[in-house]
Amino acid sequence: MRVHTLKRAVVALALALPGTAIAAVVAAPAAHADGCYTWNRNLYQGRSGSDVRELQLRVAGWAGNRNIVELDGRYGPKTAAAVRRFQSAYDLRVDGIAGPQTFAKLYELQDNDCTPRHFTWSEMDDGCGRGGWTGGPLSAAETRQNALRTMWKLEALRKSLGDRPLTVSSGFRSRTCNSQVGGATDSQHLYGNAADVVSRSRSLCQIAREARNHGFSGILGPGVQGHNNHVHLDSRRENNRDRSPNSTYQAAPNCGIAASSD
């Protein structure tokens, strides 16, 4: 479990105070609250910067039906809408403004290695069990960043499924691993953008249907060849190689999700 330090409390107090009081409290650089990331100001529409991008990463799973939150560092309407959905899901004040309550909940969900509470780097790391983030089309850093975004989307999906556990059966795959398991030559697994998931307490169809609301632009489930024992979820619209707005694909015929793209 994380240690909630006095420094984090000071930062939260500073965010809650107006005007000159804020300047007085946070005149010195704030220390990291938990070993990953600390926000030092309230965020809302019109603001921009790396702190906005860090927020977008963590609320990407609250994008809404068939939508995505771009990690562009600009707090626009889609980011505000995602924050409102996050706030509603965790019984916070729903105003679309990322302030002390919203950050406190994110800190609670966030481990020191930046992963969300219920998912780990190891379960997203090379599905053939060899470990490492190399061997794909992207650099290790880019692949890990994509995998981190995938985990935060899975955290949101898990919450909406009643906080029931989701198990990742395959995450990032190197080219060698992908070939070994018979994956598509341009699989999103190669980029860290994908996760195959199962659950003991939720059906595959429940997962596939709910995933449509959590930023996944690729959904393949029961009724699709090779996907009758798991649901494949990916972020193909955000693939560094493919920023086409017409790259969403969903299909799980046995769940009432007819094959569609837009």
Residue 4 is among the residues annotated as catalytic for this protein: no
Q: What is the pLDDT of residues 42-86, one digit of tens each?
A: 999 999 999 999 999 999 999 999 899 999 999 999 999 999 999
Can you tell me the distance from the alpha carbon of 41 to that of 159, in angstroms, rounded to the nearest whole number?
A: 26
Best CA proximity match to 71, nearest among 87, 90, 94, 55:
55
Distances (CA, A) of 47 to 23, 77, 115, 145: 18, 11, 25, 23
Residue ranges of domains in the chain: 1-114, 118-262
- Write down the pTM of the prediction: 0.86
| Cβ atoms of residues 202 and 164 within 8 Å | yes
Amino acid at 189: H
Classify 1-114 by CATH class: mainly alpha
What is the spatial order of strands in the sheet that 257-261 belongs to? 167-170, 194-198, 231-234, 218-220, 249-252, 257-261
CB atoms within 10 A of CB 139: 11
Q: Which of 189, 227, 230, 232 is catalytic?
A: 227
Tokens (6 digits) for 65: 């039906």
Tens-digit pLDDT string for the chain (262 aa): 444 443 444 444 444 444 433 333 333 334 445 679 999 999 999 999 999 999 999 999 999 998 999 999 999 999 999 999 999 999 999 999 999 999 999 999 999 999 999 999 999 987 787 788 999 999 999 999 999 999 999 999 999 999 999 999 999 999 999 999 999 999 999 999 999 999 999 999 999 999 999 999 999 999 999 999 999 999 999 885 554 555 889 999 999 999 988 7
DSSP the chain: -----HHHHHHHHHHHS-HHHHHHHTSSPPPPSSSS----S-B-TT-BSHHHHHHHHHHGGG-BTT-----SSB--HHHHHHHHHHHHHTT---SS-B-HHHHHHHHHHB-TTS-BTT--TGGGS-TTS---S-SSSS-HHHHHHHHHHHHHHHHHHHHHTTS---EEEE----HHHHHHTT--TT-GGGGT-EEEEE-SSS-HHHHHHHHTTBT-SEEE-TTSTT-SSSEEEE-GGG-TT---TT--EEEEGGGTEEEEE-
Predicted confidence (pLDDT) per residue in 172-201, tens digit: 999 999 999 999 999 999 999 999 999 999
To which residue do tokens 């195959």 refer? 196
CATH architecture of 118-262: 2-Layer Sandwich (3.30)
Using only C-alpha atoms, the chain has a radius of gyration, in whole angstroms, of: 19
Asked whether this chain's domains 1-114 and 118-262 adopt the same fold, the reply is no
